Amino acid sequence: MSEETKSFEPTIIGFTCNWCSYRAADMAGTARMKYAPNVRLIRLMCSGRLDPTFVFKAFANGADGVLVSGCHPGDCHYINQNYKMLRRFHLMKRVLAQMGIEPERIKLLWASAAEGAIFAEEVNKFVEQVRALGPLNWHPGNGAASTVHTPMSAEEVPA
């Protein structure tokens, strides 16, 4: 590891579902488990709500890594919507690779509401994984963001 990557603090956006993984994060908090401060969470009702655009947007706006987490397969509050996210996830990973983003910058984590310890541990591992990759530097200024930004607002999409 070079000196530069050692001092590098990655920023990671984490998407969590309301029922399992967000509550796992809550539980990590209630139990005062410590993990790296590099992850910032966004609560969705279900991991099935994860629009790949959210992930591209996060990378475009300066995130170095994206964590996607939901209920364990079979435990989804909405029956099976995490499986639908899973399908998109694999597709999304390939698209990201085609865009030149290392697949190690995105991580899928199943965490139940009781798994605060697992959540904290996996976040720490992922932060180290992204730190080792170094900064992504894929943000406005190098043109990448504008291409992603355009289809963002729903109003601009033709019927």
Partner 1 sequence: MSDEKKPQERVGVYVCHCGTNIAGVVNVAEVSEWAGREMAKEGVVVARDYKFMCSSLGQELIQKDIKEHGLTRVVVAACSPHLHEKTFRTACNGGGLNPYLCELVSIREQVSWVHTDKSAATEKAKAIVAGGVRRVVHHEPLEPLHVPIHPATLVVGGGIAGIQAALEIAEAGYPVYLVEREPTIGGHMAQFDKTFPTLDCSACILTPKMVDAGNHPNITLLTYSEVEKVDGYVGNFVVTIRKRARSVNEELCTGCGICWEKCPKKVIDDKFEAGLGYRKAVYVPFPQAVPKYPVIDRENCTYYQKGTCKACEKFCPTGAIDFAQEDQVMTVEVGNILLATGWQLFDARKIPNYGYGRLANVFTSLEFERLSNAAGPTGGNIVLRDGKTVPKSVAIVHCVGSRDKNYNNYCSAICCMQSLKFAHLVKEKTGATVYNFYIDIRTPGKGYDEFYQRLIEEGTLFVRGKVAEITDAARNPGEEGKLIVQVEDTLVGKQRRIPVDMVILSAGLEPQPDAKEVAKKFGISCSADGFYIERHPKLDPVATMTEGIYLAGCVQGPKDIPSSVAQGAAAAARIVGKIQQKEIALEPVRATVNQEQCSGCRICNNLCPFNAILFHEDRMVSEVNPALCQGCGTCVAACPAGAISGTGFSNEQILSQIEGLLMLNLSSKEAAAA
Instruction: Work out whether 33 is an interface residue with partner 1 (CB under 8 A).
Output: yes
Annotate 23-42 with b (16+ C-beta within 10 A) or e (fewer). bbbebbeeeebebbebbeee
Nearer to partner 1, 103 or 141 (CB): 141
What are the backbone angles phi and psi of residue 55, rounded to the nearest 5°?
-70, -45
Give the nearest distance from C-beta 43 to partner 1 in angstroms: 7
Give the nearest distance from C-beta 134 to partner 1 in angstroms: 13
Q: In 3-state terms, what secondary structure has residue 148?
A: helix
Q: Which residues sit at the interface with partner 1, rule CB under 8 A? A: 9, 11, 13, 19-20, 22-23, 25-26, 28-30, 32-35, 37, 40-46, 48-54, 57-58, 61-63, 74-75, 77-81, 84-85, 88, 112-115, 120, 135, 137, 139-141, 152-155, 157, 159
